[in-house]
Structure 1
């Protein structure tokens, strides 16, 4: 019998080569390959690279131990030698990476160039051959050309074997299967067909389980209703059967829902929840004990929370309201039961949050106020219940946010001050209770924000400093609490950028840099954590602006480069996140400012027009969002400054002024007033600008951008010594 080819023994199924900036993709791919189970019917099948294994593990991806700056390192070279395949994660970052290129060259020199597979995650293949698009190239040079006879990179082009995970191409799931098919030397269609068959079997099993549970629940429910109408001697049997039915319902809403979510069968999951809702509606609320009713309300609350997470707001509201009807009866019958009153207040707060997300601020405010009434009434029976007091603080916080969103800044101050009072009392009881401390810090932050919009910079900085001190103390007490570190990042950055508004640029820059450094630490702990990455991007762009205005253009450029790179990744990951898109546009506007400072007016104009288009799309969705209005007004201001045609520049400046003057709430906000001054001066309406300039001087506002504009306009703007003294006194 003829023997098959003698195949070398390899320790690793594959070696993953990637840029450290694509670590998120490397983490995903490594886990996807090592946890993949080959379809049973394919295991053992003979191929040119050997029999098909059950698993693909192990896969090598550790490139931490590099020996020096001049070689790949012994560990990596050894791993390449004993790896059957090389997978390259292809992006503009990896195309520019020396290490990725060296790893591809090393693998090709082993004579295994045909076992190199590419996963395209960003950029464009062979873009280096297209004029003006060279930066989009995703293939490293060693992937694009064959080796010559001496093992050096030649000039003969080659076409790498690639799976394309980009949106609109193969997508992640299909790209993964293409790679696996290549690694196993199997046909992609065959592997995909087997995978679909396996997935359908899994989904069918879960679907059958859900149908069986639903049928069993219905039978038990009917049995419970029939038994309830029977003689008194059958009452206990009926209650037992109803309890069994509701236990099954709880299973459906708990473990079964989790399993359905794992296999992405939201359609069956929603059917399960709908079936549960129908079951609960069929039950009376008067002939069962209170404990059973409380359990029923809790199950309905769980349905509502799932639907809220899914974004199914009307369905979530339906579930929350059904639960609130039950809890209303329970609290009416048991006015002294604090636990049930807290549960009822929490449901009313859920209803308020759902209305909030639907954009119905009036209904949200009504629900939050109803929750407050329940908690206040409960306080008459449990005046010293700390959980109740904290829930009251949370509800007041929500009421303040609604009033603020409605433009009632003066009215919002009362609930915010009540939050401060409640949390100060709680923290006196237990200074180490982190949740109470965080809410106390948030109260200071809210009051600081209101003070800033009133033009009271000294109070704003005092409140922000108090928040930062609280968040820092809590973080020092709980050094392993990463969520608390995120609170420190935010509080420190807000304090820093507000100090910079008073002209203290160096202290403000230092605080912002500390926030960025802490965000970097959090990113190292969790590379996929969106909050830390978003903080890193936002505060890098804000510090870039300060460094540009201070004359440090080189550092400003570096900071903005890292900000824009991160925002690009974030908005690609979640294109619907309006906050990230607005902040991305603001960073793009700052890029235009940098280009303008370098004399590149045409480039600046293109950059700011991109930012303006992004902001216009956001305003179409949220026409009254204050932050987006201000961002667009600033973008128009920059656009007017780089538009050569004077008539066009005047028109754009008029549009910016109209946008600024359309903002109705927080009219005394110095940031808003400063934009108005800059627009008026651009329109040569100096007399209208002067009273606003005087108002800004009185507040102590001294942002470097305004100071520079006034200097060019030959308008005197000295330091406000009285404000400086007041601020120093408060900070001390």
Structure 2
């Protein structure tokens, strides 16, 4: 009636508790329909506690439907439900979904206008950076459909497991929600810095209030510090996030001691944000402590242990410790599959981690199908637009691009970038990453000017959000350096890559895949400039690191061997050059298609080494065969330089007519 309508009009958010009982309730359906008629469909949030979404579409499972009818369809211009399917925004409190803790955080984040990201962000070459939705928002109240407060419901679930803490949990949840809603109560326009208050202003205001107003309620204070720190992390504001989550950890240690679930939660969250801030040693220490605590409290096989093991695998992966990371990933995946055979977000997360980790180890054939499986699962779970779906798309695109599947990779990258702009707005580290990826596609297509523009936009955003010396900034700088080199701006390119090498060496040390990669690239350029002594030092360092980190059979190890073989050929050490090039060719032939340009590059140097030793007849077929593959190389001028070398080869052999065929045309 009028009272219900007025109550809904006064509420800027409606939260629907979704279960089979709610789906059958006429009153729940009417409240949702009334709220949609107010034009507020986008402010309806769902909490799934039982049943299955969209089960009504599946024969024999109709009774398990948890979404009320009014949730499932868009409202038409006539104020009635249409036949157009809606996409409800939902947090899933079930074990196979988000779990109770993440579901609560997602709802609070929804009230903030920030879609909570339960998964982990990854650096540029691992593509595991998850996204949050940020909007400029201010609201005064909220409506909770079906007569239950979300926090009270979650507290009741906790009470069933730990009845002795039920009242504390309920009060903490009540005051947490009350505090978060209170952040948006701006009755006096002068309280806001502008016409509307931004998400960042709300968070800063809340952080000050938490520290000042809740000193006599340390448990609630610690909970809010942890929650707000998580949201700061989502904004890419890592120093602020570290400060709040660390304060939460210290308060929880004082309240509960070291062996407590909330202490383990803070340790895990602190490890996550330190990972994103590239403080890997600190992150690993906190995550290992959290893992031990959770194993003691919950046992080896539990959702909590799987979560922390996944985070620990991430930080080990970033340090290039792929074997250790893989073991943790497999354990988490096995547990998550055992819990539920149905597609779910946790299994998708573990599949992505496994696929990317295998890819870094050169296991291409098994990595790409795993990433495809993860993406298929994400599409089934999330529909058309979702932060986790965008990241899964990004993951597969990266792997395909490196395999030469440019068309499919570009389509996926552009789909992901469109989604990111919609979800993230104009300033976010993950948006910067998406722009960087498009720059790489443009570079491969030969549009160097457009690629440079994209890289510079991405770099400016990363520097503003993360700082000049962050590994993400270095990753984009590296791509920019390669475009500059391709444009012939070699001085700026070399200087930029030197800066990248310095940043990565400081951040990761010498024995890290990113540092080794930069050393190889810089060494390659220095060989072309005739700066052999510095180049050889870099290449030997890179080769040692790659043999240790990746093994002797990895394609990237072969890449360094190829460059080193080129250097030794240039300096007249033909036996060394032949040995390096032959080892590289054998490794690459085991991992890549026969016509891949990297194999051609190794064969080319084999031919040069044989020619340098006077073995022209043996060198000729290798040199000629290599030219076809090198035409496909993404490295600027490599094909042209190789043809020039063949011309020089024939000249040295005394066959000027053959040499003329390979001379550059005027």
TM-score (norm 1): 0.46
Pairwise mapping of residues 378-417 of structure 1 onto structure 2 (< 5 A)? 378-379=339-340, 389-417=344-372
Distance of 2:264 and 2:501 partners within structure 1: 43
Pairwise mapping of residues 75-154 of structure 1 onto structure 2 (< 5 A)? none
Q: Which residue of 2 aligns with 1:682?
A: 608
SS of the residue aligned with 2:580? helix
User: Between Structure 1 and Structure 2, whose CA radius of gyration is higher?
Assistant: 1
Q: Which residue of 2 aligns with 1:517?
A: 456
**Structure 2 counterpart of 1:488, from 429, 434, 440:** 434
Q: Which residue of 1 aligns with 2:417?
A: 472
Distance of 1:526 and 1:295 partners within structure 2: 30
Distance of 2:225 and 2:433 partners within structure 1: 33
Task: Please state if 1:673 is matched with 2:599.
Answer: yes
C-alpha displacement at 1:397, in angstroms?
0.8
C-alpha displacement at 1:470, in angstroms?
1.8
Pair 438,668 (structure 1): closer, same or farther in 2 beyond 3 Å: same
Contact 1:489 1:516 in 2 (8 A): yes
Distance of 1:707 and 1:476 partners within structure 2: 40
Contact 2:452 2:483 in 1 (8 A): yes
Give 5+ residue unaligned stretches, structure 2: 1-162, 173-216, 230-238, 651-657, 659-666
Pair 310,403 (structure 1): closer, same or farther in 2 beyond 3 Å: closer
Q: Which residue of 2 aligns with 1:116?
A: none
Q: Which residue of 1 aligns with 2:95?
A: none
Pairwise mapping of residues 593-672 of structure 1 onto structure 2 (< 5 A)? 593-595=527-529, 601=530, 604-616=531-543, 618-619=545-546, 622=549, 624=551, 626=554, 629-643=557-571, 646=572, 648-662=573-587, 666-668=591-593, 670-672=596-598
Pair 588,315 (structure 1): closer, same or farther in 2 beyond 3 Å: closer
SS of the residue aligned with 1:678? helix
* Matched pairs, number: 417
Q: Which residue of 1 aligns with 2:408?
A: 463
C-alpha distance after superposition, 1:627-662 (max 9, x if no partner): 75245324323423431xx3x244234334335535
Distance of 1:573 and 1:357 partners within structure 2: 14
Distance of 1:237 and 1:471 partners within structure 2: 43
C-alpha distance after superposition, 1:415-466 (max 9, x if no partner): 1111221233345x242x33421322222322343xx2xxxx3xx1123212
C-alpha displacement at 1:496, in angstroms?
3.9
C-alpha displacement at 1:708, in angstroms?
3.4
C-alpha distance after superposition, 1:486-543 (max 9, x if no partner): 22343224324544xxxxxx33x34532333323542674582435642443123322
C-alpha displacement at 1:395, in angstroms?
0.9
Distance of 2:457 and 2:267 partners within structure 1: 40
Pair 675,545 (structure 1): closer, same or farther in 2 beyond 3 Å: farther
Contact 2:471 2:504 in 1 (8 A): no
Q: Which residue of 1 aligns with 2:642?
A: 709
C-alpha displacement at 1:621, in angstroms?
5.3
TM-score (norm 2): 0.50
C-alpha displacement at 1:396, in angstroms?
0.4
Give 5+ residue unaligned stretches, structure 1: 1-234, 282-292, 332-340, 500-505, 548-554, 596-600, 717-732
Please tell me the root mean square deviation across aligned C-alpha atoms, in Å.
5.1
Pair 443,307 (structure 1): closer, same or farther in 2 beyond 3 Å: closer
Distance of 2:609 and 2:586 partners within structure 1: 15
**Structure 1 counterpart of 2:503, from 570, 590, 605:** 570
**Structure 2 counterpart of 1:434, from 381, 387, 390:** 387
Q: Which residue of 2 aligns with 1:298?
A: 265
Q: Which residue of 2 aligns with 1:592?
A: 526
Pair 539,239 (structure 1): closer, same or farther in 2 beyond 3 Å: closer
Pair 691,462 (structure 1): closer, same or farther in 2 beyond 3 Å: farther
Distance of 2:313 and 2:633 partners within structure 1: 40
SS of the residue aligned with 2:591? coil
